[in-house]
Structure formats: structure tokens, C-alpha cells
Chain A
Amino acid sequence: MFDLEGYGPLLLYGAKLTVYVGVLSMAIAIVLGLIGMLGKISASPVVRFLVNTYTTVIRGVPELVLILLVYYGAPTLIQDISLLLGHPVYISLNPFVSGVLTIGFIYGAFSTEVFRGAYLAVPKGQVEAARACGMSTALTFRRILLPQMMRFAIPGLGNVWMVLIKATALISVIQLPELMRSADIASRNTKKPFTFFLAASLIYLGITIISNILQQWAEKRAGRGIRKA
């Protein structure tokens, strides 16, 4: 059924790669988001300034430009700097690594804002109570803040994920054979672009539907023990 003139398996392989790239970059984005959130509430003005610059700049630049900047720009930048220092180094980035890192870095800025909102939604009294019970800052974060923040953060993180998985299509411009690139190859070889791009779009739609179901489940799970109005 899913043969598509013999290119079905190629598309499915591409879809698998798309999900890998998506999950890995989402993991990076969540870690960066938590670090960014801690930076935004930090007492040090220098740290706050750095994090604010990160979120402001990243959210103002298109993903495509950042992907091109990292993939083509970073190696030449390193080359030029190393030349200045007298030890020329030539590197070329792997499309998978640079794609995952760039997407993770971009959506880290978005999840920073999500986590900051979630942090503000946790009542301050609970943190004070935990401190009064003798918990250290780290323990308070792990036991009190993080579980409650998650409840507020999941809808926002779900939105970030939906945008992120669609942004992975952009990595096809740096030749990573994910879903979009596979569809491109298949359509060039068969001269049936409409068929293959439609098939690819339906696979993306399927990923979106599954993510929606998972998000609802996660929201329900994170909201256990909360009285419903």
C-alpha cells in the first residue's frame, strides 16, 4: 500500500530521521530552556543580560538564516580565527549534528520563555515553605518547583514541539536526508513532485496528530491531584 513506486521505504526512513532530529533537538531545547530560565531569574545582572540577549536575538532571526549561518558560517569563522592565530584548522560540520544543535539552540530560546512563565505561576509561598522545612535550593528545585512548573509548562512546550518538528524540514537545505529531502529526491527521480510532497505532508500531519494525543496525555498526567473546576 505504501509503496509509491518503490520510494515508500525511503520516505519512511526519512520520517524516522525527522523524528530523531526532532526528539534530540527538543531535548537540547528543554535543557537550554531550563538553564535560560535560571539565568532569567538570576540575581546577577550580567547573566540576565546575556540570557535576554540570547532570547531576543534568536527570536528575531529566521530559523533558515540561523541554520545556514551555523552550517556554512561556523566552519569558515573557525578557519579564519585559527588562521589569525597561526594554526589553520579546517573543519566541516556534519549536517545531522549542526542541524540538531541549531534547531535545539533556536527552540531553547522559546522554551526559556515557556519555563519562565511556568516558574512565575508557582506560588512563592511554596518555595519559602520548602526552604523553611530545611530543603536546599537544589532539592527545592527538584522536589517542589520542577514538578509544579511542568504542569504549567507542558502546553507551552507542546506548542514549541509542534513548531520544532515542522522546522526540521528546513534541515533538508543542508542535505540531511530527512523526510523533506527524501521526498525531494523521490520526486526528482519519478517526475511526480505533487505525489511525493503530498505524501510527505501527510506523514507530517500524522506526526502532528500523534503529538497532539501524547500532549493531552501528558497534560492529564501532570495535572494529577489538581481539583477541576
Chain B
Amino acid sequence: MEIIIDNLPRFLNAVWVTIQITAISVLIGFCMAIPLSVVRVCARWIFSWPVYLFTFYFRGTPLLVQIFLIYYGSGQFQEQLYAIGLWNLFQSPWFCAVLSLTLNTAAYSTEIFRGGIQGVPAGEIEAARACGMSGTLLYRRIIIPRALRIAWPSYTNEVIFLLQASSLVSIITVMDITGVAGEIATRSFAFYEIYLFAAALYIVIVYGVLWVFRRIENRLNAFLHAQNA
């Protein structure tokens, strides 16, 4: 027990790293996924296929391979990356961790939002067209807000998965909760105490995030509750 209390500041710092990495990846991934999902449902295959290939690759391979491909794999292109001035970025485990998590969540979220867009009732789109909306206005006002409401529960799951998947960045030496737990455990040999504590930290964060996302879902669907009241 003392070992956990002694290392509590390090654990709190690690919680912050985990939340930070997850939050940055989720935010950038979300901003990528919305336009990508619109392109994904595009009728012209020349636009939709590249997006489909991107999502297919990132959904079909383990995240660990993607992290290794970016972190260790970039070493094979050291000279080229150095020439264009990106080598410093790819040397940093933190950058590679965020990059791979972002691409991964962007791929999963694109497919989730695609499902949402395709789930928008045809009548609503017809009604918007009849009101004279088209193109970006139709997407901005009608399709995207409706698709987000439809896709929100699945998107919540995706965020939870990403939060848990962020534990993999400890393998490339980022000091998140799992990384700190691993280091303290190998030094002190208190394996089960430390890992159980790490597991408890994750559970608290996961159910905390779940609670926040449920609140957002209630807000998004507030108009539905108003009818019942």
C-alpha cells in the first residue's frame, strides 16, 4: 500500500498524460472524421474509394502494428524525413503515439458517422430540399446534426475504446498510466498491487467519460424529452 501512496504524484501525472493523449487524438480524429465520412458516402467512387481504403486498413490491423509502423518504421526513412525537416517529430514517442491514435480513431469514427449519415431519414432530406437547401447548407443544417445524434452512442463506445487503447503507447516509452505502473512494478516487484491500482484508475476514468458522454447525448436529444414532459 505504501508504495502506491509514495508514488501517487507520479500516478496523477500519468493520469493527466493518458487523458491528454486521448483528448487530443479524439478532438483531431473527430475533426477529420466528419469531412471524411461525407466524402465516404459520395456517389463518385474516385472520391469515396481512397477514404474506404484508409478506413479499411486502419480498422483491419491492430493498433499496436500501426504504432510500431509509425514509431519504428519511420526510422527506415530517416534521411528523407530529415531532408524535409520532420525527423525531429518522428523521433518523439509522444508525437508518434498521438499520430497513430488520431489516424486510428479517425478511421473508426468515419465509419460510425457514415452509418449515421446513411441513417438520416430520406424524408427529412427531401423536406430540406423542398425548402430550397442544397449542398453544404443541407449537410450543415440537416444531415450532420441528425447523423451525429444517430451515431452518438456508437461514438461514445469508440472514445472509450480509444481511451483504453491509449495504454499501448506505454510500449513506446510514453509515461501514461500503464507506463508508470510498469516502471514502478518492475522496480518494486509489487506487480499485482500496482497493476490493480492502474486498472482501478482506468475504470474511474472510463466511467467518468461515459457519464460525460451520456450527458452530451441527453443534451443532443433534448427535443425528444420535451415532448414527453
Co-complex (A, B): yes
Chain A residues proximal to chain B, CB less than 8 Å: 57, 59-66, 68-69, 72-74, 76-77, 166-170, 172-173, 180, 183-184, 187, 191-195, 197-198, 200-201, 204-205, 208-209
Chain B residues, Cβ within 8 Å of A209: 60
Which of B64, B69, B199 has the most chain A CB within a 10 Å cutoff? B64
Residue pairs across A and B with Cβ atoms less than 8 A apart, 14 shown, are A65-B178, A69-B192, A72-B192, A72-B195, A76-B191, A170-B62, A180-B68, A194-B74, A194-B76, A197-B65, A197-B72, A197-B73, A201-B57, A204-B65
Complex CA gap A205/B61 in Å reads 6
Contact B199 A195 (CB under 8 A): no
Q: Smallest CB–CB gap between A209 and chain B, Å?
A: 7
Known: A64-B167, A69-B196. A193 touches B75 (CB 8 A): yes
With A62-B165, A77-B191 known, 10 other A-B pairs at CB within 8 A are A66-B199, A68-B185, A69-B195, A72-B191, A74-B192, A76-B189, A201-B66, A204-B65, A205-B56, A205-B60
Give chain B nearest CB distance to A110 CB in angstroms: 11
Q: Enumerate B170-223 residues with CB–CB distance to A below 8 Å.
A: 170-171, 177-178, 181-182, 185, 189-192, 195-196, 198-199, 202-203, 206-207
Check B76 against A201 for contact (C-beta < 8 Å): no
**Set of chain A residues within 8 Å of B199, measured between Cβ atoms:** 57, 61, 65-66, 69
Contact of B73 among A57, A62, A172, A194 (CB under 8 A): A194
How far is the CB of A35 from the nearest CB of chain B, in Å?
23
Whether B60 and A65, one on each chain, are in contact in the complex, defined by CB atoms closer than 8 angstroms, is no
C-alpha spacing A169/B25, complex, angstroms: 22
Query: Which of the residues A60, A168, A197 comes within 8 Å of B206, measured between beta carbons?
Result: A60
Cβ–Cβ contact A167 & B68, under 8 A: no
A193 near B68 with CB under 8 A, answer yes
Shortest A167–chain B CB gap in Å is 7
Structural contact, B69 and A197, CB atoms closer than 8 A: yes
A-B contact count (CB 8 A): 123
Which single residue of chain A is at the shortest CB-CB distance from B192? A73
Which residues of chain A are within 8 angstroms of B170 by Cβ–Cβ distance?
A: 64
List residues of chain B with CB within 8 A of the CB of A198: 69, 73
CB proximity of B205 to chain A, nearest CB, Å: 9
A65 pairs with B202, CB closer than 8 A: yes
Complex Cα gap A208–B65 (Å): 14
Nearest chain A residue, comparing its CB with the CB of B73: A194
- C-alpha gap A74/B164 in the complex (Å): 21
Q: Once the chains bind, are A62 and B61 in contact (CB under 8 Å)? A: no
Measured CA separation A74–B190 after assembly (Å): 11
Asked if residues B69 and A72 are in contact (CB atoms below 8 Å), the reply is no
B206 touches A193 (CB 8 A): no
Instruction: State A229–B185 Cα separation when bound (angstroms).
Output: 57
